[in-house]
A and B are shown apart, each in its own frame.
Chain A
């Protein structure tokens, strides 16, 4: 296990001496592999956490009193968002990768989420009650 417990190197991230003023980037051999990835133990824990959250999601689905409560939908959405974030940050290495990759993903993701919420309002599935 020692092999995987030492953090594997990343790849495709920043080249060393990244471009300054638009100059040609000349990565020095494998110095380009600058970003560390999670270790095997971290991957294992991520898998366990994802499984545990999924079990809880399905479990609360079968509790009629909880399904009828106002907490049901927010709880599911929060758990789903946590799972989503964990996979993106650890399995997709976004936590360890370049900021440009984060921007390329989170930008369209924000547009996508805003689009879904806007359409829900537009078609009357969501409403904000103003006044009494």
Chain B
């Protein structure tokens, strides 16, 4: 089982990168048929979900015990979000962006993934509230990623329209207002989901963990990042910032959040190391 999982962990990021390449080719050259990419997308989703199931079965627990597993679940959540969008909108031009970021998450996941024979999972994962906390947190991160991606597309299209050099982004991307709306809805959804996820995390920590410290740097960093997101959104709403400024803000906030998450996991190993 361990060997099979290790092989999949090498193949999966390659499949993600290959599919991103396929979507990029379709984005730049519309002459290509789209069916191969769509089939590849569903194939990849099947493979990734199969991999997570296999991982869960092998360790007899939800595959959410480490940063690597968290990133892999984040990657598949983004891909599912994109697959639903592509089906609803009948438009595959945003695939390059969504799959690009999902690929990055999966590459990091595969690099950080430990061998299953040497890995143990926290007993905490058997607690249902803990599971809900993780699920909300992952979905929150995925929604914020979608918001940031829509913001990137908004910035690219807005800059082309402003400079009057109407190139590929003008031809391929959805209308500016739709990107702005999708980014706002995704960000708001992300803030709400992540808020619930963090709240449940506090609840689990207070009632289940014995050595819980509210001032643990990781908790402070994550709570501060969420609060910054929340306040930023309220300020944008109240002050009516322009679309492009909101786009930059959304992108910067997401990058900041990811950076804080990585730093807090790299620099401190106190609480929430994802290990028992």
Does A associate with B in a complex?
Answer: no
- Chain A residues engaging chain B, CB cutoff 8 angstroms: none
